[in-house]
Structure 1
């Protein structure tokens, strides 16, 4: 089970690295006016989004394996796991939102400012903080 946990942690870290960096590319895209630079940033964003999506899959699989296969977090007194799973659903929603925002940039339909994307970039930090607190502290 420790191998599964280790793999889960590695893939979660890798997934979040992409979720931290992708909105930074969006900040630059929102400020950019040159076509050549915009195309380069879009290429980077597309590749990063695809790679980040591929990293999310094993993170989720290994997490479900621990939850369903080993029963980690099941039973009474494990409210922390329900809160953690709720936060994971929000992370999945954030990941999906990044894909939607990328499509808007590709279509030239972005209406948001670089400042908005700077704030948007903070969301995964807060989600990760909540998840780590749930797993380590187990407050309820």
Structure 2
């Protein structure tokens, strides 16, 4: 199995980058939709219905599969011999940030359900939460590239 992982390493790595890009695009955009939904769409009818459809499809069709693909390909990379040195700090930082990113994904899913039920945080709160994936991405990229 480890020979196979070593052989397909570059393909798995490329797939991982594509999956991460897709997941991150959704994580950046969904909270922005929440801002618009909270500020312009809580009265019912249009644009509320449009926001609800966009949020649900973004989460279900793009973000969830991209997160799953990110996790699967990431775990394949971790299992590839010679790729991760767990005695260093960087893989632990990356792992913590990825787990936090998955938690943020879960928070987004919960917010989508709350908005669909007519409950909302303020647009300002959603704007602040929109920065969370950026901060986690900075941690991940620095950890992986600098390998401290």
Identify the TM-score tier after normalising by the shorter chain: over 0.9
Distance, in Å, in 1 between the alignment partners of 2:80 and 2:142 is 23
How far apart, CA to CA, are the structure 2 residues paired with 1:134 and 1:127?
Answer: 11
Aligned residue pairs, count: 137
Residue 82 of structure 1 is matched in structure 2 by 92
Partner of residue 63 from structure 2, selected from 19, 28, 52: 52
5+ unaligned residues in a row in structure 1: which ranges?
A: none
Residue 70 of structure 1: CA displacement? 3.0
SS at match of 1:70: coil
Matches of 1:136 and 1:69, distance apart in 2: 18
Residue aligning to 1:124: 133
What residue in structure 2 maps to residue 98 of structure 1?
Answer: 108
Instruction: Tell me how large the CA RMSD over aligned residues is.
Output: 1.1
SS across alignment from 2:23: helix
Corresponding position of 2:6 = none
| Cα deviation code 1:9-45 (max 9, x no counterpart) | 1110110000000001000011023521011011000
Question: Following the alignment from structure 2 to structure 1, what is the Cα–Cα distance between the partners of residues 128 and 86?
Answer: 37
Which residue is equivalent to 1:4?
12
Gap regions ≥5 residues in structure 2: 1-8
Corresponding residue number in structure 2 for 1:108? 118
Q: Quick one: distance in 2 between partners of 1:114 and 1:75?
A: 41
Q: Which residue number in structure 2 is paired with residue 70 of structure 1? A: 81
Offset at residue 7 of structure 1 (A): 0.7
Counterpart Cα distance in 1 of 2:86 and 2:39 = 49
Q: Is the 8 A contact 1:67 1:74 kept in 2?
A: no
**Number of the residue aligned with 2:27:** 19
Could you tell me how far apart the structure 2 residues matched to 1:71 and 1:42 are?
A: 45
Q: Do the aligned partners of 2:78 and 2:84 also contact (CA within 8 Å) in 1?
A: yes
DSSP 3-state at the match of 1:35: coil
